[in-house]
Amino acid sequence: MSDAVAKPDAPSSDRAVTGIRTASLLRALRDQAREPAELIRLREMDAAHYVRTISNEISLLPQYRAAEPDVGDALQVLREQAREPIAPVRLREVGTVQHIGDGVATLSGLHGASTDELVTFPTGTQGLILSLDRDHVDVILLGQEEGVQGGDLVTRTNQRLQVPVGPAVTGRVVDPLGQPLDGRGPVAAATSAYLERVAPAVVERAPIDTPLHTGVKVIDALVPIGRGQRELIVGDRQTGKTSLAVDTLLNQVSGDVLCIYVAIGQKKSSTAAVIDTLRQAGAMAYTTVIVAGPDDPPALRYLAPYAGAAVAEFWMYEGRDVLVIFDDLTKHADAYRELSLLLRRPPGREAYPGDMFYSHSRLLERAGRLNEDNGGGSLTALPIIEMQRGNIAAYIPTNLISICDGQIVLDSGLFNRGQRPAVDVGRSVSRVAGAAQTPAMRSVAGKLRLELSQFEEVARFVRFGTDVDEATRRQIQRGQRLRAVLTQPLHRPLSLAAQVVLLLAVTEGYVDDLPLEDMAAFEKRLVAGFEAEHPGLFQEISLTGKLTAEVQEALVDTIASLQPDAGPLSGSPATERHPSPEETPAVAGVAR
> Which residues are known catalytic residues?
431
What residues contact residue 67 under an 8 Å CB cut-off, 6+ apart?
Answer: none
Q: Report how far apart, in Å, the C-alpha atoms of 175 and of each of 162, 180, 297, 299, 341 are.
A: 13, 7, 12, 12, 24
Query: Whole-angstrom Cα distance, residue 411 to residue 11?
Result: 115
Q: Report how far apart, in Å, the C-alpha atoms of 530 and of each of 163, 444, 487, 520, 539 are.
A: 48, 17, 20, 16, 11
Query: Whole-angstrom Cα distance, residue 135 to residue 155?
Result: 16
Q: Encode 105-144: b = buried (16+ Cβ within 10 Å), e = exposed.
A: bbbebbeebeeebbbbbeeebbbbbbeeeeebbbbbbbbe
What residues contact residue 401 under an 8 Å CB cut-off, 6+ apart?
Answer: 232, 234, 392, 407
Q: Which of 161, 144, 152, 146 is nearest to 107 (CA)?
A: 152
Total residues found in the chain within this entry: 592
Q: Report how far apart, in Å, the C-alpha atoms of 65 and of each of 20, 23, 61, 249, 476 are.
A: 17, 19, 6, 91, 124
298-316 and 329-342 helices cross at what angle (nearest 10)?
Answer: 130
Query: Whole-angstrom Cα distance, residue 455 to residue 485?
Result: 14
How many angstroms from the chain centroid is the CA of residue 189?
Answer: 16
Residue 430 and residue 229 in contact, taking contact as beta carbons nearer than 8 Å: yes
Residue 380 and residue 227 in contact, taking contact as beta carbons nearer than 8 Å: yes
Residue 375 DSSP class: T
584-591 and 470-486 helices cross at what angle (nearest 10)?
Answer: 60
Q: Where are the alpha helices (DSSP H) in 519-562?
A: 519-533, 535-544, 549-562
Residue 439 DSSP class: H
Three-class DSSP category at 184: coil
Q: Encode 449-463: b = buried (16+ Cβ within 10 Å), e = exposed.
A: eeebebbbebbeebe
Residue 63 and residue 76 in contact, taking contact as beta carbons nearer than 8 Å: no
Residue 370 DSSP class: B
What residues contact residue 151 under an 8 Å CB cut-off, 6+ apart?
Answer: 96, 97
DSSP 267-278: -HHHHHHHHHHH
Q: Which of 510, 527, 519, 503 is nearest to 441 (CA)?
A: 503
Query: Whole-angstrom Cα distance, residue 21 to residue 28?
Result: 11
Q: Which of 397, 345, 94, 352 is nearest to 235 (CA)?
A: 397
